[in-house]
Amino acid sequence: MREDYRHWQRIPTRWADNDVYGHVNNVVHYAFMDTLINTWLIGHAGLDVHRGAAIGLCVESRCEYRSPIAFPAAVDGGLRIGRLGRSSVRYEIGFYPEGRDDVVAQGHFVHVFVDRGTRTPVPIPDPLRSAMEGLVVG
Amino acid sequence: MREDYRHWQRIPTRWADNDVYGHVNNVVHYAFMDTLINTWLIGHAGLDVHRGAAIGLCVESRCEYRSPIAFPAAVDGGLRIGRLGRSSVRYEIGFYPEGRDDVVAQGHFVHVFVDRGTRTPVPIPDPLRSAMEGLVVG
Amino acid sequence: MREDYRHWQRIPTRWADNDVYGHVNNVVHYAFMDTLINTWLIGHAGLDVHRGAAIGLCVESRCEYRSPIAFPAAVDGGLRIGRLGRSSVRYEIGFYPEGRDDVVAQGHFVHVFVDRGTRTPVPIPDPLRSAMEGLVVG
Amino acid sequence: MREDYRHWQRIPTRWADNDVYGHVNNVVHYAFMDTLINTWLIGHAGLDVHRGAAIGLCVESRCEYRSPIAFPAAVDGGLRIGRLGRSSVRYEIGFYPEGRDDVVAQGHFVHVFVDRGTRTPVPIPDPLRSAMEGLVVG
């Protein structure tokens, strides 16, 4: 349900998102996840993708597709955090048609934060963690 | 100048639009053009991409890049028509940063309308042509 | 292990597959899966994406990322089938660097076959099923 | 004609390259150009995209589309250099179906080499320039 998510972003589709079967290709939902998560990290949690010492790398993602969407519609992407660990965070995402309550797809995405140079895990930096705590659910 | 365009759409960037050099990759500007044009055709000119008898195929496109843009910024895409022929239409596009007047990229894109089945040129259908006339400049 | 897969395809990367962190973006692995599966379906199992009565829609996908890959390297994609049902099939995929045995990513992808028009589930057509049986493991 | 090009790379299509009209979307041809050029720059001219002092930024691109291509076919991309300046280089590209001589699309792409940090134009570094000279045509 929409109420289960803590942050929302409306994401428009693009012409080429539709594949030969006339609907948004399954791959695109992951581009939406990446965009939703990183837009939030940059805008609400202070992530600096160009110079920050810690960067988030995806170690796992998953999506279940319930019903199709198609260009030129937009989707509302809902974001919450299901598990917030020392170095890793599991985001949970639901996509809904604009103004409707039936989920079209839902999934999760796990970031491990690593040192930009060595690419070894580091604790999630405090400003990021504080912001993330606001998205954690039950 | 922004005044030279007749229709506008704000287009958000996505995480993966940025390439390894930290800015939106040149290829993505064409995805923006395709999206701007087809969103307008569907929403304002009645194009039916799934069942319409005539479809628009791209026969030429071009873009000049003036300055970089980067995720998570959005761009404003301006659209006008520079030449409206019997079967073909030349769209001209300018991309501007949100709220600014310095163009970041500009280009054109030529559609030839063809029969969906035979893929041979057909006159641009009247409802589309009427709408297109509203975007024609000088 | 490579031996666990029944069909292989070498998949080159593209410039824009790399994201701002210098490696192939997580989203791209799903484009590789889609490509690997559909290339096999078309070339080895007789799928007709343009006119066939039954089409495969993705209802679930998942990927675990073990180590990065980067343009311009190619990856070897291995394919097998872990479950072959009446209407659905679960493909399992492993990606390996060219000439190496350490998996860089692995995942699964579930197709449900539906009637092209009504989009309701149908039995997997016989020629497809026969070909699929050759990829089934354990 | 194929003879007009100096370097070749076979580029496979991907499932999602096809758009709703059943052929490779016009945007994808630019992804092919970018891939062809950068694969050559990295493999044959010593470009270091991660640490090199000079990087190539696209300032203009253009493509003319003659006939459609569709997944799962591959295309042969031919590369030559039409103008080699102090800081800039104009690549010319032709795409041909595997084993055929009728061009499906052709275009050009202009790189300006800039300092990675300041992003101001610099002379094309000598090792790159030497390699580029081998692709220059009349």
Mean pLDDT, chain B, integer: 96
Residues of C with CB under 8 A from a CB of B: 15-16, 18-20, 22, 25, 27-28
Determine the average pLDDT of the residues in B48-67: 95
Closest CA to D15 of D25, D6, D7: D25
Interface test with chain D among A20, A30, A51, by most D beta carbons within 10 Å: A20
Residues of chain B in contact with residue D65, where contact means CB-CB under 8 angstroms, are: 57-60
Residue D138 belongs to a domain: no
Sequential DSSP letters for chain A = -GGG-SEEEEEE--GGGB-TTSSB-HHHHHHHHHHHHHHHHHHHS---TTT-SEEEEEEEEEEEE-S---TT-EEEEEEEEEEE-SSEEEEEEEEEETT--S-SEEEEEEEEEEETTT--B-PPPHHHHHHHHTTB--
What percentage of chain B carries pLDDT values higher than 90? 96
pLDDT tens profile D4-47 = 999 999 999 999 999 999 999 999 999 999 999 999 999 999 99
The span from the CA of D48 to the CA of D41, in Å, is 9
DSSP classification of residue C37: H
Give the pLDDT band (50/70/90) at residue D138.
Answer: confident
Residue C93 belongs to a domain: yes
Determine the average pLDDT of the residues in A37-66: 95
> Which pLDDT belongs to residue A138?
77
> Which pLDDT belongs to residue A106?
98
Number of domains observed in the structure of chain B:
1
Residue D42 belongs to a domain: yes
Interface test with chain D among C33, C35, C51, C91, by most D beta carbons within 10 Å: C35
> Which pLDDT belongs to residue C40?
98
Q: Which amino acid would we find at residue A134?
A: G
Whether residue C11 and residue D15 make contact (CB cut-off 8 A), yes or no, is no
> Which pLDDT belongs to residue C49?
87
pLDDT tens profile A81-108 = 999 999 999 999 999 999 899 999 999 9
> Which pLDDT belongs to residue C31?
98
C83: phi then psi, degrees, rounded to nearest 5: -155, 125
Structural domain for C113, as ranges: 2-133
Residue D9 belongs to a domain: yes
Alpha helices in chain B (DSSP H): 26-44, 126-133
The span from the CA of D10 to the CA of A17, in Å, is 25
Helix or strand holding residue C128 (H, E): helix C126-133
pLDDT at D58 > cutoff 80 = yes
Closest CA to C60 of A66, B95, B81: A66
pLDDT tens profile B87-100 = 999 999 999 999 89
The span from the CA of C22 to the CA of B62, in Å, is 27
Q: Is D103:D66 a contact under the CB 8 Å cutoff?
A: yes
- Centre a 10 Å sphere on the Cβ of residue C31 and count the other Cβ atoms it contains: 24
Q: Which amino acid would we find at residue A4?
A: D
Closest CA to D38 of C95, B29, A103, B27: B27
**CA dihedral angle for residue B70, residue B73, residue B74, residue B76, rounded to 10 degrees:** -80
Q: Beta strand pairing status for C74-84 and C88-97?
A: antiparallel
Q: How many CA atoms lie within 13 A of B23 on its CB side?
A: 14
Residues of chain D in contact with residue C38, where contact means CB-CB under 8 angstroms, are: 15, 71-72
pLDDT at B101 > cutoff 90 = yes
Whether residue C38 and residue D50 make contact (CB cut-off 8 A), yes or no, is no
Q: Which residues share a beta bridge with C62?
A: A62, C108
Residue B138 belongs to a domain: no
DSSP classification of residue C115: E
- Centre a 10 Å sphere on the Cβ of residue A3 and count the other Cβ atoms it contains: 7
Q: Which residues share a beta bridge with D121?
A: D114
Whether residue C25 and residue B18 make contact (CB cut-off 8 A), yes or no, is no
Residue C99, Cα to own-chain centre: how many angstroms?
20
pLDDT at D127 > cutoff 80 = yes
> Which pLDDT belongs to residue D66?
97
For residue B118, what are the contacts with CB-CB under 8 A and spacing of at least 6?
Answer: none
Closest chain B C-alpha to D90 CA, distance in angstroms: 13
Residue C121 belongs to a domain: yes
Whether residue C72 and residue D39 make contact (CB cut-off 8 A), yes or no, is yes
- Centre a 10 Å sphere on the Cβ of residue C75 and count the other Cβ atoms it contains: 24
> Which pLDDT belongs to residue C138?
78
Whether residue A19 and residue D19 make contact (CB cut-off 8 A), yes or no, is yes
Task: Identify the chains in contact with D, defined as 3+ C-beta pairs within 8 A.
Answer: A, B, C
- Centre a 10 Å sphere on the Cβ of residue D57 and count the other Cβ atoms it contains: 17
Whether residue B18 and residue C22 make contact (CB cut-off 8 A), yes or no, is no
Closest CA to B40 of B89, B100, B4, B105: B89
Whether residue D50 and residue B25 make contact (CB cut-off 8 A), yes or no, is no
Residue B30 belongs to a domain: yes
Digits of tens for pLDDT over chain C (138 positions)? 899 999 999 999 999 999 999 999 999 999 999 999 999 999 999 999 889 999 999 999 999 999 999 999 999 999 999 999 999 999 999 999 998 999 999 999 999 999 999 999 999 999 999 999 999 997
> Which pLDDT belongs to residue C121?
97
> Which pLDDT belongs to residue D114?
97
Q: Which residue carries 């031919």 as its tokens?
A: D78
pLDDT at B138 > cutoff 80 = no
DSSP classification of residue B24: B
Residues of chain B in contact with residue C19, where contact means CB-CB under 8 angstroms, are: 15-16, 18-20
Instruction: Give the domain CATH number at A34.
Output: 3.10.129.10
Residue C138 belongs to a domain: no
Interface test with chain A among D13, D18, D19, by most A beta carbons within 10 Å: D19
Residues of chain A in contact with residue D28, where contact means CB-CB under 8 angstroms, are: 16
The span from the CA of A126 to the CA of A135, in Å, is 15
> Which pLDDT belongs to residue D99?
86
Helix or strand holding residue B54 (H, E): strand B54-65
Closest chain C C-alpha to B66 CA, distance in angstroms: 20
User: Percent helix, strand, coil in chain C (nearest 5)?
Assistant: 25, 40, 35
Closest CA to D16 of C97, B47, C36: C36
> Which pLDDT belongs to residue D37?
98
